[in-house]
Chain A
Amino acid sequence: MSIKTVSRRGVLKSGAVAGAGLAVPTIFTASSAAAFTNEPTGSSVTLGFNVPQTGAYADEGADELRAYELAVEHLNGGGDGGMLNTFSSKVLNGSGILGKKVEYVTGDTQTKPDAARAAARSMIEKDGAVMITGGSSSGVAVAVQALCQEAGIIFMAGLTHSNDTTGKDKKANGFRHFFNSYMSGAALAPILAKNYGNDRKAYHLTADYNWGYTTEEAVRTSTEAMGWETVAAVKTPLAQTDFSSYVAPVLNSGADVLVLNHYGANMVNSLTSAVQFGLRAAEANGKNFEIVVPLYSRLMARGAGKNVAGIFGSTNWHWSLENVAGAKYAGTNAFVQSFGQKYGFPPSQAAHTVYCQTLLYADAVQRAGSFNPCAVAEALEGFEFDGLGNGPTLYRAEDHQCFKDVLVVRGKENPDNDFDLLEIVDVTPAAQVTYDASIFGGELGSCNPGA
């Protein structure tokens, strides 16, 4: 069968509108009207921003949406240009993408794969979006990435930290700027060993789903390589709200470090319980008891309040990076400045990663000279860039994962305000967190332009 879908917007804008009231059935084949799904033919191009607007990650989604709006403004030549001024690639000039004005549609992922795919399909089928981006969980990212592969659309992942996204579930049309569990483990382990010693005994509480598994695995492997011992690893239900029964036995287990492989509300609640049970103040094996949270986000730190003080974790980016670690991380201040001016508070790491993803996509299109997903993918693969706040970065061709320095952070003891909760302890160079592309299995397949 040669019947294929084509962009509805594309059809209209190419002037295929039939004469008044006259129904002309048209069957498009791969070779006729459009070369790829939703080819933008008018004076504008539509991007799809698919973020959680309801559910537990709604605030994170709202922050992503702010960053997307800012990125669109900058691409269209508005505002102060943000990171366009510091970005190492200079092909974007504020006139949209390939001279087309950037427009966008938004959707609600509800942090559920089904809902996220429904929202993404509606953007593709109804609004003619040529790229989908966003999301705040790995389940959603993997689901939407697979959809985009099938539909012939580029997917620029938002906040997704599981190894699977660019590991066993990687797809040729999907790209991730955010870091992953493996990198968190590799970046954290040396810092933990330096601060807490090489002879620690760790107790893991792990959220019982894919992201939890990969994070536990990563932290375990890298800390055990430093000489730590893993006493126990207990899986906790994703829907758990009161972690007392999981936290209570930790103190008498012989462990002296608790690793919370939790994210979002899970992490806020388990950390709160751990602090209540006096783990921060306790001593075990003659050492101070310590807690580690492999993946930090500012919103989580805010939810946990004073409990995060002094607790180590890793993040993809932090707004104070350039001030603390120097001009290598240029772009950070430019972004914070324009985001802060517009919204009145500094951006989160989720906002940063989606802003970068939007710019990287636009830049790749500009360099490729086409919106064709295969051309864009080719332009992104192996792309080395700088000036987006993370220092020199590589978009690796083998698995479409970005490799850049990873931040190790710690909860501040006396934060000035709600946004100043984390301090940067160290920055682990990209070389230390790079791994072989084949270790997680999975196949990219070949790029799919759709039509």
Chain B
Amino acid sequence: MDAIILQILNGLDKGSAYALIALGLTLIFGTLGVVNFAHGALFMLGAFCTVTLSRILTLSHEVVDPTRKDFLGNPLKVDVPYIYDIFGETTGAAIIDWAVPLSILFAIPVMIGIGVLMERGLIKHFYKRPHADQILVTFGLAIVLQEIIKYYFGANQIPAPAPQAFVGSLDFGAIFGMEPGAIIYPYWRIVYFCFAMVLIGAVFAFLQFTTFGMVVRAGMADRETVGLLGINIDRRFTIMFGIAAAVAGLAGVMYTPINSPNYHMGMDFLVISFVVVVVGGMGSLPGAVLAGFVLGVLESFASMRQVIELLPGVNQVVIYLAAIVILLTRPRGLLGRRGVMED
């Protein structure tokens, strides 16, 4: 029982990452009809916003400590961040400690900027081109983006720990009257799940309850008619692209303490996020979110020891197996609309 609850928690946690990425991808599919193979790279760029900010915060000057020696036997040079000089050591250390949450503020403008730049500079010219061309150009862009990151940050993973306050785990079992230690779950993963829910809610509310959102939804349904009504739909779509990029980026920012980021983390998520979007159904935002959680939970269950012993290798293939079954029983995925990207 505890094990099952634990895996549901894990599944929801994994699912929130899938859902966030798939949500942004669907916004781009649904609004612009563009197959964006660079979406994983946007997720990765978000994670590297965190790395960049913590690099900025820890910009240092060297102080020679004559009491210690470095590996060559010379006096050790100790790096002292400038931020210590400005705010004093305690406050400075606290700011550095909170680098990940602070990165949210840093990442939102950066990611919207990157998104808008990408749409205006490149994607705009590919609306009328075949999907194959869109795949090629966005895949090329993804490679270029990740190679740039690799050039500056290296190929190795870079740790970006959560603030000290979130280290450790919550004892769920104790809250619900089970014996202590039965179900414990790390604080940061709970934060990630809550953050994802808030972000998903915000995107839906924005589309549902604002005039801007209404126009965008109308544009998704019938772009030409909205244009004929004299509404500048292009500009709104640009903004939507920026928002989609920001959603992917924020998913990346908050993901860094869970797994140390490296330059190809985007590619690792790319295939899975396409599967999630398609299983959810093309052009359906709720579908993408639902599929993200469903596949996350399935993946977690499949990785249980008892399941693997029963069906060896099932943990390797469960997502794809589920995708095949769902697509064969529901022709347009879980909540897909007829006629979107079916030809």
The reply to whether A and B meet directly (CB within 8 Å) is yes
B residues within 8 A CB of A276? 169, 186, 188-189, 258
Cβ-defined contact, A341 with B156, below 8 A: no
Determine, out of B68-76, B113-121, B217-225, B280-288, the stretch whose residues face the partner at the interface: B68-76
Asked if B308 is at the interface of the complex by the 8 Å CB criterion, the answer is yes
Binary contact readout A407-430 vs B (1 if CB under 8 angstroms, 0 otherwise): 000000000110110000000000
Binary contact readout B51-88 vs A (1 if CB under 8 angstroms, 0 otherwise): 00000000000000000101110001000000000000
Within 8 A of B (CB), among A194-242: 208, 232, 234-237, 239, 241-242
Nearest A residue to B303 via CB reads A245
A residues within 8 A CB of B155? 54-59, 62
Q: A277-B184, A416-B76 given as contacts; is B262 within 8 A of A56 (CB)?
A: yes
Determine, out of B8-16, B25-33, B232-240, B330-338, the stretch whose residues face the partner at the interface: B8-16
Q: Which of B6, B14, B71 contacts A420 (CB 8 A)?
A: B71
Nearest B residue to A420 via CB reads B71
Within 8 A of B (CB), among A39-94: 54-59, 62
Q: A237-B315, A245-B10, A251-B184 given as contacts; is B156 within 8 A of A299 (CB)?
A: yes
Cβ-defined contact, B184 with A303, below 8 A: no
Determine, out of B103-111, B128-136, B157-165, B202-210, the stretch whose residues face the partner at the interface: B157-165
Asked if A249 is at the interface of the complex by the 8 Å CB criterion, the answer is yes
Q: Which applies to chain B's interface (DSSP): helix, strand, loop or mixed?
A: mixed
A residues within 8 A CB of B184? 251, 277-278
Cβ-defined contact, A241 with B268, below 8 A: yes
Binary contact readout A284-308 vs B (1 if CB under 8 angstroms, 0 otherwise): 0000000000000001001111110
- Cα A303 to Cα B265 in complex, Å, equals 14
Say how far B122's CB is from chain A's closest CB, in angstroms. Answer: 24
Q: A272-B260, A303-B260, A305-B260 given as contacts; is B14 within 8 A of A244 (CB)?
A: yes
Nearest A residue to B162 via CB reads A276
Interface residue count on the A side (C-beta < 8 Å): 52
- Cα A225 to Cα B62 in complex, Å, equals 50
Cβ-defined contact, A249 with B189, below 8 A: no
**Which of the listed residues B11, B150, B268 has the most CB atoms from chain A within 10 Å of its own CB?**
B268
Nearest A residue to B3 via CB reads A249
B residues within 8 A CB of A305? 159, 161, 260
Cβ-defined contact, A251 with B71, below 8 A: no
Asked if B140 is at the interface of the complex by the 8 Å CB criterion, the answer is no
A residues within 8 A CB of B10? 244-245, 248
Cβ-defined contact, B304 with A303, below 8 A: no
Cβ-defined contact, B159 with A245, below 8 A: no
Say how far B2's CB is from chain A's closest CB, in angstroms. Answer: 6
Asked if A29 is at the interface of the complex by the 8 Å CB criterion, the answer is no
- Cα A251 to Cα B156 in complex, Å, equals 29
Say how far B15's CB is from chain A's closest CB, in angstroms. Answer: 11
A residues within 8 A CB of B91? none
A residues within 8 A CB of B265? 241
Asked if A99 is at the interface of the complex by the 8 Å CB criterion, the answer is no
Say how far B14's CB is from chain A's closest CB, in angstroms. Answer: 6
Cβ-defined contact, A232 with B72, below 8 A: no
- Cα A54 to Cα B147 in complex, Å, equals 9
A residues within 8 A CB of B72? 336-337, 340-341
Within 8 A of A (CB), among B275-330: 299-300, 303-305, 308, 315-316
A residues within 8 A CB of B181? 251-252, 282
- Cα A409 to Cα B70 in complex, Å, equals 19
Nearest B residue to A233 via CB reads B305
Cβ-defined contact, B14 with A234, below 8 A: no
A residues within 8 A CB of B303? 234, 236, 245-246
Asked if A265 is at the interface of the complex by the 8 Å CB criterion, the answer is yes
Cβ-defined contact, B316 with A252, below 8 A: no
Nearest B residue to A308 via CB reads B159
Binary contact readout A309-342 vs B (1 if CB under 8 angstroms, 0 otherwise): 0000000000110000000000000001100110
Cβ-defined contact, A59 with B76, below 8 A: no
Nearest B residue to A347 via CB reads B71
- Cα A58 to Cα B151 in complex, Å, equals 11
Asked if A364 is at the interface of the complex by the 8 Å CB criterion, the answer is no
Say how far B342's CB is from chain A's closest CB, in angstroms. Answer: 30
Cβ-defined contact, A278 with B169, below 8 A: yes
Within 8 A of A (CB), among B245-293: 258-260, 262, 264-265, 268
- Cα A281 to Cα B186 in complex, Å, equals 12
Say how far A159's CB is from chain B's closest CB, in angstroms. Answer: 14
Nearest B residue to A56 via CB reads B155
Asked if B154 is at the interface of the complex by the 8 Å CB criterion, the answer is yes
Nearest B residue to A53 via CB reads B155
- Cα A320 to Cα B10 in complex, Å, equals 41
B residues within 8 A CB of A391? none
Cβ-defined contact, A269 with B260, below 8 A: yes
Cβ-defined contact, A302 with B308, below 8 A: no
- Cα A246 to Cα B3 in complex, Å, equals 11
Cβ-defined contact, A249 with B304, below 8 A: yes
Q: A248-B6, A277-B186, A420-B71 given as contacts; is B14 within 8 A of A268 (CB)?
A: no
Asked if B138 is at the interface of the complex by the 8 Å CB criterion, the answer is no
Asked if B7 is at the interface of the complex by the 8 Å CB criterion, the answer is yes
Nearest A residue to B71 via CB reads A346
Binary contact readout B172-202 vs A (1 if CB under 8 angstroms, 0 otherwise): 0000000001101110110000000000000
Nearest B residue to A267 via CB reads B157
Nearest A residue to B188 via CB reads A276
B residues within 8 A CB of A54? 155
Within 8 A of B (CB), among A351-403: none
- Cα A304 to Cα B257 in complex, Å, equals 11
- Cα A180 to Cα B184 in complex, Å, equals 36
- Cα A416 to Cα B79 in complex, Å, equals 10
- Cα A239 to Cα B186 in complex, Å, equals 23
Cβ-defined contact, A59 with B161, below 8 A: no
A residues within 8 A CB of B227? none
Can you list 10 contacts pairing A with B, beta carbon distance less than 8 Å?
A59-B155, A235-B315, A244-B300, A245-B10, A265-B157, A272-B259, A277-B169, A277-B186, A278-B186, A304-B260
List 5 extra interface pairs beyond A234-B305, A303-B158, CB under 8 A: A244-B300, A248-B9, A252-B3, A277-B186, A299-B156
Sorted nearest first, the 3 A-B pairs with minimum C-beta distance are A305-B159, A303-B157, A58-B155
